[in-house]
Structure 1
Amino acid sequence: MTKRVESKYKINRRLGVNLWGRPKSPLAKRDYGPGQHGQRRKGKPTDFGVQLMAKQKLKGYYGNIGEKQFRKYYFEAVRRKGDTSENLIDLLERRLDAVVYRMKFAITPFAARQFVNHGHILVNGRRLNIPSYSVRDNDVIEVREKSKQLAVVLDAAQSSERDVPEYIEVDHRAMKGRFVRSPKLSDVPYPVQMEPNLVVEFYSR
């Protein structure tokens, strides 16, 4: 499991956006960065700064993926045919923890990663505990029978904070869903604007 030495909500404050669209975000009270220098005035960012911010937003959104792994996603996106930025989004949305989050089996990407790590998820009937596992079209993802009545799962499924996107089908009564197809950037319900094209520019410098 990736070590994170910082609070997930500090990511929100550092980037200046409510990254997951949650009402608990500290930006509601303090719309400046964390730390003693958080309220300093910031000058106009450079092109590098804009690209770096786009990368940090996308990386942070998926549970603050490590730099080494995120760079691998970029190289895989370049290797594939088609638009690199769309390929990058497709790869990220196929992560098992991202799919669990999209299906509303967990309330946050961080909770989804932990949920997968602890072995609560089956893929095509097989128990998997690798959050970065890449889900394929028509794979069936479900919560283990023993875990279906966990309060955290029921609370997430009943949450009205977000909807399940069209490229995923889910039955919350059975706690089972299916990854239907590759998503386009416009299909993904990000609460904030994501700019994967700037991420591609950042790595291609």
Structure 2
Amino acid sequence: MSKRHSAKYKIDRRLGENIWGRPKSPVNRREYGPGQHGQRRKGKVSDFGLQLRAKQKLKGYYGDVTEKQFKRAYSEAARQKGDTSQNLIGLLERRLDALVYRAKFAPTIFAARQLVSHGHVFVNGVRCNIASRQVKPGDEVTLGKKAQEMALVAEAQALPERDLPDYISVDGTKVTFVRVPTLDEVPYPVKMEPNLVVEFYSR
């Protein structure tokens, strides 16, 4: 399992955007980048720079996704029929940790991954501790009894900053994955550009 060793909010500051829409994000106070040269005027960003930034933003949003996992998701999206950028979003939203996060069972994508890896999440009644598992339409995901009593879960469900999307159905501590979403259905707090990610990998 990959583990994040650096502070996650550094991603926000490096990109200059509050990518998770969290009120604690340092970008809300300081819009410039981290480090002693963060306030210097930014030069013109090249096409490659824009593509790399879009890739880092999308990859960073989904938490501790490794470069290898992310590239594998792109390759799978490119193999599927239809628009590769839409397919990529669909594959990322089908991750089990992403579904747990969307259902407001965890306050952050990192906490959602931890809930899954610690064995608190069940898919169709079977315990699953693989955060990258792909759920299918119709799959039911539930929280274990111990997790239902966690303060973390209660905190997440009380968060006002996230709405439940239409492609999942939540009933208490049970969530059903209704369908694979399109880009415009996913409630990203900032603009994501998967088309630039596709350009980055297809160079």
**TM-score normalised per structure 1:** 0.97
- Alignment partner, residue 58 of structure 1: 58
- Alignment partner, residue 164 of structure 1: 164
Residue deviations 1:106-145 (CA, integer Å, cap 9, x gap):
0010110111111110000000000000001110001002
Residue type at the aligned position of 2:199: E
- Work out the CA distance in 2 between the residues paired with 1:119 and 1:189: 27
- Work out the CA distance in 2 between the residues paired with 1:18 and 1:164: 19
Q: How many residue pairs were aligned?
A: 203
- Alignment partner, residue 136 of structure 2: 136
Q: CA deviation at 1:101?
A: 0.1
- Aligned-residue RMSD, C-alpha: 0.8
- Alignment partner, residue 176 of structure 2: 178
- Alignment partner, residue 192 of structure 2: 194
Q: CA deviation at 1:85?
A: 0.2
Residue type at the aligned position of 1:88: L
Residue type at the aligned position of 1:82: G
- Work out the CA distance in 2 between the residues paired with 1:35 and 1:4: 20
- Work out the CA distance in 1 between the residues paired with 2:23 and 2:129: 29
- Alignment partner, residue 91 of structure 2: 91
Divergent runs of 4+, >4 A: none
Residue type at the aligned position of 1:81: K
Q: CA deviation at 1:9?
A: 0.4
Residue type at the aligned position of 1:204: S
**TM-score normalised per structure 2:** 0.98
3-state DSSP of counterpart to 1:104: coil
- Work out the CA distance in 1 between the residues paired with 2:180 and 2:171: 20
- Alignment partner, residue 76 of structure 2: 76
- Work out the CA distance in 1 between the residues paired with 2:48 and 2:38: 21
Identity of aligned residues (%): 65
C-alpha contact (below 8 Å) 2:3/2:64 kept by paired residues: no
Q: CA deviation at 1:3?
A: 2.1
Residue deviations 1:60-93 (CA, integer Å, cap 9, x gap):
0000411111000000000001100000000000
